[in-house]
Structure 1
Amino acid sequence: MAPGNITVKDDLVYNHLRPWLGHSLLISNGKEWARKRRLLTPAFHFDILKNYITTFNTSTNTIMLTDGKTNIEMFNDVTLMTLDSLLKCAFSYNSNCQESTSEYVSAIVELSDLILNRRLRIWHHWDWIYWRTQQGRRFKKALSIVHRFTREVVQKRRTIINHQRMTESQPDLSTAGQRRKDFVDIILSSKDEDGQGLTNEEVEAEANTFMFAGHDTTASAICWTLYNLAHHDHYQEKCRQEVMDLLQGRDEHEIEWEDLSNLPFTTMCIRESLRLHSPVQAVTRKYTQDMLLPGNRTVPKGVICLVSLYGTHHNPAVWSNPHEFYPLRFDPNNTSGRSASAFIPFSAGPRNCIGQKFALAELRVVVALTLLRFHLAPGVNPEVGSISGDVRRLPQLVLRAEGGLWLQLEPLNVSGLV
């Protein structure tokens, strides 16, 4: 049996996502998963990701408008920023959600909260109970908003693509070149080896998954990276100097695609933060057959196994001083001999995160521009009234912090770069 068929996504953990995400790549198994993975892979090719860098810059510049506030709880603002970026990258849609209320964005946030709430209440695991509860009714209302938005975008885009195919000999110059292709454009155009593409319903499911899986995880990674740098000023200054050297003499202080490979120390800090504070704390799989392990042990068919990413990343047998923030662990000179399975923030194997290059690109842009404009220091939680030290991790759908992550953002003068 092929490796991808030995384990499958289990219903216990993933079933609550089906009303929202359908049979998308995240939830599907077997041949269905393999086909969708092949069809979606072009959407995350480097040539496509390059087009998103401008969007990352624009969305980050918006979050920099702090309205004079210096003590900020980062999760809310950064989550709106990643949603803003994803809406532009997925749908070419400018929601302005960082500056004003968006019905769609509010519905996305509510769905995420309600899924977590449902997981924590065992009696809500049964549909015939859940859909009769107040939370179930709220879920359906938010779901209708999200699905309606996605359905309308996909249907309109499909109509445009079909029209363009019919009139290829007479291109409509009035609409040509108005925007770059986004996520929906690319997956609508993808074909398998039999010349078949995804249906509208399948495209909607993948677009919804892109929004669900991409906003919270990336927001968590950004917030914890900034938190760690705020608590380690010498590393923060080294990152900032790296960014300033990179942008020296430019009229525009924007990160370009070619810059991403020229931020080695900043990237080390991001990777170390992903190790120390992985946005996803664990992954689960159900075995479809008995699995023989070393030591003559067997995992029986039907068992659900949980792989602790937190445990893997804090294993003292692999990582010395595992609770210490030490970016130089990821210096190429220090990684030889380390197992590829020691660092798995995006999971591993054939079912690793298809969007990890997208996430890492956005992380580097946001962290670099934030450090260019602000000095970061530990903030004050108003409810506690004191400067935050070590915070308690709060594992929800993604890793958050109990009471929030509060940082002091002190504006810097970057005019000297020019």
Structure 2
Amino acid sequence: MIKQVTPPLAAASSENKILRRRVANEYIGKSNNYNAFKQDGTDLEKGVKWGEQYPYAFPMWFGPSVCFLNIHHPDYAKTILTTTEPKDDLAYRFIESWIGNGLLVSKGQKWFRHRRLLTPGFHYDVLKHYVKLMSESAQVMLDKWESYANTSETFELFEHVSLMTLDSILKCAFSHNSNCQREGGTNKYIKAVYELSDLISLRMRTFPYHSDLIFYLSPHGFRLRRACKVAHSHTRTLQRNFDFLDILLFAKDENQQGLSDEDIRAEVDTFMFEGHDTTASGISFILYCLASHPEHQKLCRNEVMEALDGEETIEWEDLNKIPYTTMCIKESLRLYPPVPGISRKLTKPITFFDGRTLPAGFQVGTSVFGIHRNATVWENPEVFDPLRFLPENVSKRSPHAFVPFSAGARNCIGQNFAMNEMKVVIAMTLKKYQLIEEASLKPRIIPRLVLRSLNGIHIKIKPVEAQK
């Protein structure tokens, strides 16, 4: 257990290192380090197993001197997520060469100012106009799937969904019709995002690569710079268009100061990544969950058919008419959160609800995956049960028991955009297709910047008419 030790803020760095060791060793033995993760599809399960031994948190070692306290209980997570502590200076520092010092990475007054300037872009009146564009992008994907429906062929859906969410974010945020879903071959931007995600994850778990010089000189550093060029080249073309970019270009604070060109580029890169890749992960796993649970899929389809009442596409007003489908979406986000973890670096000592404290300078990770599968919080946490999200059941839980979009001041600014897109895509898919599990190809989930599957996400589909 952590002792109640709160060192002076001016403590020497060597003393802080000793404290980190002391704090960590009181939690768990030396075996719980990142080297135990083999990237074989079992890593997140290991974290859940470790969490069963320790009620609130355990340390995770990255090399010989970097330690994160890994939190997997909502009562501890609340203490972290209700602060405005900055993101950690390890993992998020590695992302900065790609997405710059935008809303995801920035801290302090810069983060506060950017958040305030960008918030109008996610207002109700802005979001409702995006539903039609989301529907158009979803329809293109569903039309492409007709060949799979006619042959009952198994297919990997993550790549399809990634193209669809990329198409959607380009239309909604940047008024850019990319035609990326109809182009042949692999989209260069999506390929670059996949490679960047893999390389940043590799750098995180390879201790020598924590050195900027060593990583820069390595083959992996070269590959990351090359992938960054591809991603930045793509986003530069978007700066000729408007919509979300309008907000960035014309936003002014109380001193009539706007965003610099560098700030605008960072926010474009950030929104491109967060607006397409995380949503693609969420939608892909939702479709998988519904394929794996046909009884819930049927209830969702009946609800969607009644809500649409013969209409071909879904409208803004329909989004609140599918409560059971929304519960299924949330239950999938619980089991497969698109962002499996969040990390912060403490700028001052903190005290948890039970009186235990951590010193300034400590790195703290909140395991969203671990919280969502914590058996002391969720009954039968491995079971897919949408009824967990009935209002009367939600009211019995901590608001920090379900945090797929984080929580507090630094929660995801685009969470309503993402939820709307998930509802649109799931509703339109269920209206057209029956989703069928491919039992021989269950996803082997791995932690990257977003949740992925080592072997892809495979399903079969049939036209809904075939069920009549």
Shared fold by TM > 0.5? yes
Counterpart residue number, 1:126: 211
Decide which of 156, 159, 170 is 1:73's aligned counterpart.
156
What TM-score, normalized by structure 2, do the two folds share?
A: 0.77
Map 1:10-89 → 2, pairs under 5 A: 10-64=88-142, 65-66=144-145, 68-69=147-148, 70-89=153-172
Displacement after TM superposition at 1:295 (Å): 3.5
Counterpart residue number, 2:445: 393
Say what the alpha-carbon RMSD is for the aligned residues: 2.1
Displacement after TM superposition at 1:152 (Å): 4.6
SS at match of 2:104: coil
Counterpart residue number, 1:264: 323
Contact 2:198 2:448 in 1 (8 A): no
| Cα-to-partner distance string for 1:199-228 (whole Å, 9 max, x where unaligned) | 222111101001112222111111111111
Distance change in 2, residues 1:395/1:142 (3 Å): closer
Unpaired segments of 5 or more residues in structure 2?
Answer: 1-80
Could you tell me how far apart the structure 2 residues matched to 1:141 and 1:312 are? 36
Counterpart residue number, 2:192: 107
What TM-score, normalized by structure 1, do the two folds share?
A: 0.86
Contact 2:278 2:450 in 1 (8 A): yes
Counterpart residue number, 2:15: none
Decide which of 388, 392, 395 is 1:329's aligned counterpart.
388
Contact 1:5 1:30 in 2 (8 A): no
Map 1:402-413 → 2, pairs under 5 A: 402-413=454-465
Map 1:197-346 → 2, pairs under 5 A: 197-250=258-311, 253-346=312-405
Could you tell me how far apart the structure 2 residues matched to 1:118 and 1:198 are? 31
Moved more, 311-320 or 388-397: 388-397
More contact order relative to length (CA 8 Å, sep ≥ 6) = 2
Contact 2:442 2:457 in 1 (8 A): no
Could you tell me how far apart the structure 2 residues matched to 1:339 and 1:287 are? 23
SS at match of 1:284: strand
Match of 2:117, as an amino acid? L
Contact 2:87 2:105 in 1 (8 A): yes
Could you tell me how far apart the structure 1 residues matched to 2:132 and 2:422 are? 13
Could you tell me how far apart the structure 2 residues matched to 1:104 and 1:400 are? 17
Could you tell me how far apart the structure 2 residues matched to 1:350 and 1:279 are? 19
Match of 2:422, as an amino acid? L
Moved more, 195-204 or 27-36: 195-204
Distance change in 2, residues 1:389/1:105 (3 Å): closer
Counterpart residue number, 1:384: none
Could you tell me how far apart the structure 1 residues matched to 2:238 and 2:427 are? 33
Counterpart residue number, 2:62: none
Displacement after TM superposition at 1:94 (Å): 1.8
Displacement after TM superposition at 1:401 (Å): 2.2
Identity within the alignment, %: 47
Distance change in 2, residues 1:394/1:105 (3 Å): closer
Could you tell me how far apart the structure 2 residues matched to 1:330 and 1:373 are? 26
Contact 1:346 1:352 in 2 (8 A): yes
Counterpart residue number, 1:169: none
Decide which of 169, 172, 189 is 2:250's aligned counterpart.
189
Could you tell me how far apart the structure 2 residues matched to 1:80 and 1:6 are? 34
Decide which of 344, 352, 360 is 2:419's aligned counterpart.
360
